Chains A and B, each alone.
Chain A
Amino acid sequence: MVAKLPEKEHPKQSFGWAARDQSGVLSPFKFSRRATGEKDVSFKVLYCGMCHSDIHMVKNEWGSSTYPLVPGHEIVGVVTEVGSKVEKFKVGDKVGVGCMVGSCHSCDNCTNNLENYCPQMILTYGAKYYDGTTTYGGYSDNMVADEHFIVRIPDNLPLDATAPLLCAGITVYSPLKYYGLDKPGLHVGVVGLGGLGHMAVKFAKAMGAKVTVISTSPNKQQEAIERLGADSFLVSRDQDQMQVAMGTMDGIIDTVSAMHPLLPLLGLLKSHGKLILVGAPEKPLELPAFPLLMGRKMVGGSCIGGMKETQEMVDFAAKHGITSDIEVIPIDYVNTAIERMLKADVRYRFVIDIGNTIK
């Protein structure tokens, strides 16, 4: 049986930009989405954030990409249609979709609102949906998703600057809570000041932490302190600064995905401190056992968050006025944006103005 053309696969016409091969270059792409099922919510996409994962995927850096690939998992818009069994949303609601659109709903993780750890979790793009078709992400004009994976965006949040919360936001919010770094008065370090890092600073401050940014770029210091509200800034290559800060932090959120040594970061922790990795270098890192044992320290990971927690995070952001710092771009700038992201030349997230530029 010949595979259906993307345009003919489903009844609803969609238009977006897709990567066609490992060059990762995106170009216009006509495809289709399923009709709104009884538990589905369909929405017109207004904005989509550009996550570094989008780059990994369009360039097949994780070896799992199939083409054409429509990336985008920081998607916000306005509901256009709801299925007959949808209870929580109606036409006109402001909603978002993050990194997942499906899970098994029966395993221990799903039962505990941890769909993100479900072995059968379905990614928003580049994955196989329950019906065997490929999922397409938010660099497109419309979106359909099961109600369970839709997040309500409170009215007081601007849609464009809220989009990145759906991946970057939850990626740092979840471990701050899980690892107990959300208590007022704690000293939290944030390694790397990019899409994830700047969100970590904002959330940690809102939770009452004293925040130190640890970065290789001294020129980010002023931004970090004056605009993002960090309490202090450490240049990680400066041995003297790092030495003085040893044993001062309760926890560290490490957003860096390049290879880097863990020993100096472990040294910054107090006893019982926690080093949490949310960036994922491809090769193993060296973990010295001595500081771990002598200070009862731990190294843990975290990957986005479950749907309940994602909604909680968005509501928390609305209450505290937390949004991402963004540069809004038209869709045809997307390839240039990718080049700039590779040079970390963005403060701190590109957001594609889908509503006005994908027609």
Chain B
Amino acid sequence: MAKSLEVQKAFGWAAKDASGILSPFHFSRRENGDEDVSVKILYCGVCHTDLHSCRNEWGNAHYPLVPGHEIVGTVTKIGNNVKKFKVGDRVGVGVMVGSCMLCEYCNQDLENYCPKIVFTYNSIDKDGTITYGGYADMIVVNQRFVVHFPDSLPADAGAPLLCAGITVYSPMKYYGMTEPGKHLGVVGLGGLGHVAVKIAKAFGLKVTVISSSPGKESEAINRLGAHAFLVSSDPGKMKGAIGTMDYIIDTVSAAHSLVPLLSLLKANGKLITLGLPNKPLDLPIFPLVLGRKLVGGSNVGGTIETQEMLEFCAKHNITADVEVIRMDEINTAMDRLAKSDVKYRFVIDVGNSLYQQ
């Protein structure tokens, strides 16, 4: 039984109700325990999940809610049992800060599938308190859930890798979607989609972006290096691409039909869906059966795999395309995010713009 720890003051921005509007918020975190690492937060990415959570779109918000799970910072304190980190190290914290550490999933470094997973924010921690995320000055995390942040990666543009990066990297490995020369379709060019394009190219895949916005074509091809661009609402173009893709990563979180997407896959093709629409997807069975196709899900990745992903991105110079904002610009950013008006991730410069009142 963990002994009850002292608390320390913390400061951040929180949503206070389902309007989702964030404002300054004083709260407390536990003191640094033997297994803990304290992190002064430098940057925190703004994930679409933060938006869903603040506005209680999934019906599970505990207010006040401090979001943020794409955290990069520096270590300020380590517990007595912490050997992997030292004060001053640059580290990252992603989507989870706790798990049971005993079950078959935890034992396979799949803490993200532990039935007792504790998310970085809006989750009930082992001591019964609510977890608060990275839109804050500091965070205290069990060492198991902290990753080294590679020196060669810029902290601001690298922060989104801690959720967006691992969210696309993990299923690409698990479902065997990394064979060089194969053809990947990426549906949706937002936070997840643009990172998927970059990681896929680093694996040597040919990438086609599939999007409902024709205006994104130039970006996709010229800046992100996609090989081709398909406007999903153009039936002629979609028809021409039938049976051409080995894999598809679907990042779209609005409700949509899988019928046209499955037709893009070759036989034995794999479609991974990463978005959480509020209605079920339409799954046509004939093409699944006749072509031995599969549709799979995935949810972030374990800590070890997150570390592996960061090393991979460092090696291949992969970062997110970011728009750095001040903490007090967060509400405007959330409104713009709701309209997909960002290329492609907001990142809060917490270190330089979070001022206590």
Q: Quick check: A282 and B299 within 8 Å, CB to CB?
A: no
B276 close to chain A: CB less than 8 A? yes
B295 close to chain A: CB less than 8 A? yes
Residues of B in contact with A (beta carbons under 8 Å apart): 105, 113, 171, 174-175, 243, 257-259, 267-268, 273-277, 280-299
A332-359 vs B, CB cutoff 8 Å, 1 = contact: the mask equals 0000000000000000000000000000
Tell which of A26-34, A89-97, A230-238, A300-308 binds the partner: A300-308
Chain B positions within 8 Å of A301 at CB level = 285, 287-294
Min CB distance A31 to B, Å, is 28
A264 close to chain B: CB less than 8 A? no
**Given A297-B296, A300-B293, A302-B292, residue A289 in contact with residue B283 (CB < 8 A):** no
Q: Quick check: A284 and B296 within 8 Å, CB to CB?
A: no
A3 close to chain B: CB less than 8 A? no
Question: Interface SS of chain A: helix, strand, loop or mixed?
Answer: mixed
Min CB distance A163 to B, Å, is 22
A280-305 vs B, CB cutoff 8 Å, 1 = contact: the mask equals 11101111111111111111111100
Q: Quick check: A292 and B113 within 8 Å, CB to CB?
A: no
Q: Quick check: B273 and A277 within 8 Å, CB to CB?
A: no
Q: Quick check: B267 and A109 within 8 Å, CB to CB?
A: yes
From B267, B280, B285, B298, contact of A288 by CB (8 A): B280
**Given A292-B296, A303-B290, residue A117 in contact with residue B285 (CB < 8 A):** no
Q: Quick check: B295 and A278 within 8 Å, CB to CB?
A: no
Interchain residue pairs A-B with the least CB separation, the first 7: A292-B297, A301-B288, A300-B294, A298-B296, A301-B289, A286-B280, A293-B297
Chain B positions within 8 Å of A127 at CB level = none
Q: Quick check: A295 and B113 within 8 Å, CB to CB?
A: yes
Q: Please give me the residue from chain B that is nearest to A302 by CB atom.
A: B292
Q: Quick check: A289 and B299 within 8 Å, CB to CB?
A: no
Chain A positions within 8 Å of B299 at CB level = 293-294, 296
Interface Cβ pair total, 8 Å cutoff: 113
Q: Quick check: A114 and B294 within 8 Å, CB to CB?
A: no
Q: Quick check: B274 and A284 within 8 Å, CB to CB?
A: no
Q: How far is the CA of A302 from the CA of B108 in the complex (A)?
A: 29
Chain A positions within 8 Å of B175 at CB level = 298
From B174, B281, B285, contact of A277 by CB (8 A): B285
**Given A278-B289, A293-B276, residue A284 in contact with residue B297 (CB < 8 A):** no
Chain A: interface residue total (CB-CB under 8 A): 35
Min CB distance A175 to B, Å, is 8
Q: How far is the CA of A263 from the CA of B259 in the complex (A)?
A: 19
Q: How far is the CA of A289 from the CA of B290 in the complex (A)?
A: 22
Q: Quick check: B297 and A296 within 8 Å, CB to CB?
A: yes
Chain A positions within 8 Å of B259 at CB level = 284
Chain A positions within 8 Å of B284 at CB level = 284
From A271, A282, A300, contact of B288 by CB (8 A): A300
Chain A positions within 8 Å of B285 at CB level = 277, 279-281, 284-285, 301
Most A CB within 10 A of own CB, among B283, B285, B286, B290: B285
From A109, A117, A119, A296, contact of B296 by CB (8 A): A296
Q: How far is the CA of A285 from the CA of B258 in the complex (A)?
A: 10
Chain A positions within 8 Å of B290 at CB level = 280, 301, 303
Q: How far is the CA of A298 from the CA of B286 in the complex (A)?
A: 16
Q: Quick check: A286 and B281 within 8 Å, CB to CB?
A: yes
Most B CB within 10 A of own CB, among A117, A282, A301, A303: A301
Q: Quick check: B294 and A298 within 8 Å, CB to CB?
A: yes
Min CB distance B243 to A, Å, is 8
From A109, A271, A294, A299, contact of B294 by CB (8 A): A299
Chain B positions within 8 Å of A282 at CB level = 286
Most A CB within 10 A of own CB, among B175, B257, B275, B288: B288
Q: How far is the CA of A290 from the CA of B273 in the complex (A)?
A: 10
Min CB distance A274 to B, Å, is 8
Q: Quick check: B276 and A277 within 8 Å, CB to CB?
A: no
**Given A284-B257, A298-B296, residue A272 in contact with residue B291 (CB < 8 A):** no
Chain A positions within 8 Å of B277 at CB level = 289
Chain B positions within 8 Å of A297 at CB level = 296-297
Known pairs A277-B288, A286-B280, A301-B289 / 14 extra A-B pairs, C-beta < 8 Å: A114-B267, A117-B267, A284-B257, A284-B282, A284-B285, A287-B280, A287-B281, A289-B281, A293-B276, A293-B297, A294-B297, A300-B294, A303-B290, A303-B292
**Given A289-B275, A293-B299, residue A114 in contact with residue B288 (CB < 8 A):** no
Q: Please give me the residue from chain A that is nearest to B170 by CB atom.
A: A296
Per the 8 Å Cβ criterion, residues 94-139 of A in contact with B are 109, 114, 117, 119
Q: How far is the CA of A114 from the CA of B291 in the complex (A)?
A: 11
From B289, B295, B297, contact of A303 by CB (8 A): B289
Q: Quick check: A271 and B295 within 8 Å, CB to CB?
A: no
**Given A117-B268, A284-B259, A286-B283, residue A293 in contact with residue B298 (CB < 8 A):** yes
Q: How far is the CA of A291 from the CA of B293 in the complex (A)?
A: 19
Chain A positions within 8 Å of B243 at CB level = 119
Most B CB within 10 A of own CB, among A285, A286, A289: A289
Chain B positions within 8 Å of A300 at CB level = 288, 292-295
A234-271 vs B, CB cutoff 8 Å, 1 = contact: the mask equals 00000000000000000000000000001100000001
Q: Please give me the residue from chain A that is nearest to B113 by CB atom.
A: A271
Chain B positions within 8 Å of A278 at CB level = 289
Chain A positions within 8 Å of B273 at CB level = 289, 292-293
From A284, A290, A293, A303, contact of B283 by CB (8 A): A284
Q: Quick check: A280 and B289 within 8 Å, CB to CB?
A: yes
Q: Quick check: A299 and B295 within 8 Å, CB to CB?
A: yes
Q: Please give me the residue from chain A that is nearest to B295 by CB atom.
A: A299
Min CB distance B355 to A, Å, is 37
Q: Please give me the residue from chain A that is nearest to B286 by CB atom.
A: A280
